[in-house]
Copies of this chain bind each other. A is one copy, B any other.
Amino acid sequence: MLKRREIDFQIFEMLEAERLCAQPAFLSQDRETIDAILDSAQRVADETFATHTALTDAEEPQFVDGRVRMRPEVKSALNAFVDGGFMGTSFPERIGGLQLPYIISQVINWIFSDANVGTAGYPFLTMAAANLIQAHGSDEQKQRYMLPLIEGRWFGTMCLSEPQAGSSLADIRTRAEPTGEGDYRISGTKMWISGGEHELSENIVHLVLAKVPGQAAGTRGISLFIVPKYRLDEHGAPGPRNDVSLAGLNHKMGYRGTVNTLLNFGENDDCRGYLIGQLNQGLAAMFHMMNEARIGVGLNAAVLAYSGYQHSLDYARNRPQGRPATQRDPSAPQSMIIEHADVRHMLMRQKVYSEGALALCLYGASLVDRKQLSASDEQAAEIELELSILTPLIKAWSSHYGLKANYWGLQILGGYGYTRDYPLERIYRDNRLNPIHEGTNGIQSLDLLGRKVLQNQGAAFRLLMTRIGETVSACTGHPVLGEYASQLHQAQMRVLEVTTALGKLASGGGIASLLANSWTYLDMLGHLVVAWMWLRQAVVAQVALDQPGGDQAYYDGKRQACAYFYRWELPQVLMQADQLLAMDDSVLTLRDEHF
């Protein structure tokens, strides 16, 4: 359930998408054109995606005779998606794209994922694969492999993990032996491959991490290969099967519409792959795309959080149950449960988590656009720096708190929420994936504290603090917002203190102690950043409220939600700062038998 009002607020009011779209780098787009594209996306999503969400959850893809059998509605929906021109939204017009800003493509993602997150998985994986080839492929590779992806004729996958190597990609075992004919013979097993096998498209382009024998151990010996399901003939048409076979399907708690596979490469020693980018630069190429993939995961988590919020809000407005505590007459009519204080808390928690996460993820997406538009290398580097520290927060905070939002949404529906008759049950299962994939939240916390915060003498962290400080300064002394600015500043000073202390620990060589409580650090910094996002939303709301005219209730709701976040959530930052400042690393000295 999607409220278009919220999309408009997030992109046009918060991120000035209209001005962004008018930049020459994009096809000249006015508000009307963007609105028409979003209307069209919503229509396709409503008519073809939302109609089979429960169905493909109940009847997940099956492994039959080495092939994947799935509901036919998935293919019909994806055909409509491709026909609607949504596959290439952010790609240049000259290669068949719509040349829209990245944030608009993310809003389209929002619309389709809200309707059916399982079916939406295929095109978004395909776009990620096309993006990677665009960034690192040769001209020939772009011509032969990227264009059919953007045209939606072929679909793509990312093959990173293996059964024994998930978080630790250094330990992958898939091999790529040069054939002497310019290509490579691939052999190995890849795990958790979404969209790894299906009959939804004419071909599947796997992007596969593998090691060429004789190169360095660990991550510095990893290269990236294009491995098509069907090899191409000289005209680029799919020819004979490549030696990639489906070894099994993973049966997941949720996201069941997206088939998830175990793939064997080269069982018959005849799997051909084509190096993309430089030898041994495979992980770097893959991580180049990781920012965007992680924005995508964060956004999906935020979208599911917001969907759950809207569904539970609808239920709360229409379910009569109980009476106010002051109503002693049992024959009085029952209240709608939205009247109960505890239900309102559950709604507000969902609102501050989901709209806070949406604001954060879309802010991150806007940095991708601003980087593209930047006037100088220095400016681009600065934007990249800001995005680099926000990325683990976008991924991990949104998925951790997005799931909490769904917990409260389901709780509002009570027993009904626990049944498959209402969508909260499915949304809750779907969203449980997001803290896990694209790097678990624990891995994100190591990335944040071990790399992003401390590297370059803390440059990214300082930049983030400057950005938050700018919003604080702009609000200081304001009759309504000044109070929040002051609270945010206070929390920011505590976070700075913690980070400085941890920096000293790091320079003293205490890397293990530094990282001992990395999740708490991410949780703290994420809450600070989302408090900043809420103040940014309140600023925009306040400007609107100061003008006469309609929609006051919507903006007042934003201001109320900001107040709620500062009252009930921000204190966690101070508490966690105290905990971290204690510099306790006793978790390191626990022994196995203590558990």
Contact = CB atoms under 8 A, between A and B. Distances in A.
Nearest to A219: B330
Given A251-B420, A418-B436, A595-B557, A442 B578 contact: no
Candidate in A320, A436, A556, A561 with the most chain B CB atoms within 10 angstroms = A436
A217 B331 contact: yes
A512 B325 contact: yes
Interface string A443-466: 001100010000000000000000
A313 interface: yes
A362 to B, nearest CB: 20
A567 B554 contact: no
Contact of A517 (B218, B345, B554, B591): B345
Interface string A213-251: 000011110000000000000000000000000000011
Nearest to A255: B418
A588 B344 CA distance: 8
A253 B572 CA distance: 31
Nearest to A348: B587
A161 interface: yes
Interface string A331-347: 10010001011111111
A553 interface: yes
A432 B418 contact: yes
A251 to B, nearest CB: 4
Interface stretch (A16-24, A164-172, A527-535): A164-172
A440 interface: yes
Interface string A71-103: 000000000000000000000000000000000
Contacts of A417: 436
A219 to B, nearest CB: 7
Interface stretch (A264-272, A370-378, A421-429): A421-429
A313 B582 contact: no
Contact of A594 (B170, B414, B553): B553
A191 interface: yes
A592 interface: yes
A148 to B, nearest CB: 29
Interface in A150-174: 161, 164-168, 170-171
A516 interface: yes
Nearest to A557: B594
Interface in A310-355: 313, 317, 320-326, 330-331, 334, 338, 340-348, 351
A161 B415 CA distance: 10
A192 B418 CA distance: 11
A504 interface: no
A512 B340 CA distance: 10
Contacts of A346: 442
A59 to B, nearest CB: 14
A511 interface: yes
Contact of A440 (B414, B435, B574): B414
A578 B571 contact: yes
Interface string A565-586: 0011001101100110010111
A276 interface: no
A572 B579 CA distance: 11
- Assembly of this chain: how many copies? 2
B587 A253 contact: no
A515 interface: yes
A253 B432 contact: no
A251 B421 CA distance: 8
Nearest to A310: B595
A252 interface: yes
A483 to B, nearest CB: 13
A446 B342 contact: yes
Nearest to A426: B253
A411 B440 contact: yes
B170 A330 contact: yes
Nearest to A313: B595
Contact of A419 (B251, B321, B331): B251
A323 B167 CA distance: 11
Nearest to A513: B341
A426 to B, nearest CB: 9
Kindly list the 5 A-B residue pairs having the minimum CB-CB distance in the complex, ordered from nearest: A218-B330, A553-B593, A557-B594, A342-B442, A168-B322
30 contacts: A164-B320, A166-B414, A168-B322, A171-B321, A217-B331, A219-B330, A253-B429, A324-B512, A325-B446, A325-B515, A338-B592, A341-B515, A341-B516, A341-B518, A346-B442, A347-B595, A348-B587, A351-B595, A417-B436, A418-B432, A428-B432, A429-B429, A553-B593, A567-B584, A567-B586, A568-B579, A571-B575, A571-B579, A572-B575, A574-B575
Interface of A: 161, 164-168, 170-171, 191-192, 217-220, 250-254, 313, 317, 320-326, 330-331, 334, 338, 340-348, 351, 403, 407, 410-411, 414-415, 417-421, 425, 428-429, 432-433, 435-437, 440-442, 445-446, 450, 511-512, 515-520, 553-554, 556-557, 560-561, 563-564, 567-568, 571-572, 574-575, 578-579, 582, 584-588, 590-595
Given A338-B592, A553-B593, 7 more contacts: A217-B330, A252-B418, A341-B515, A345-B517, A411-B436, A556-B593, A567-B586
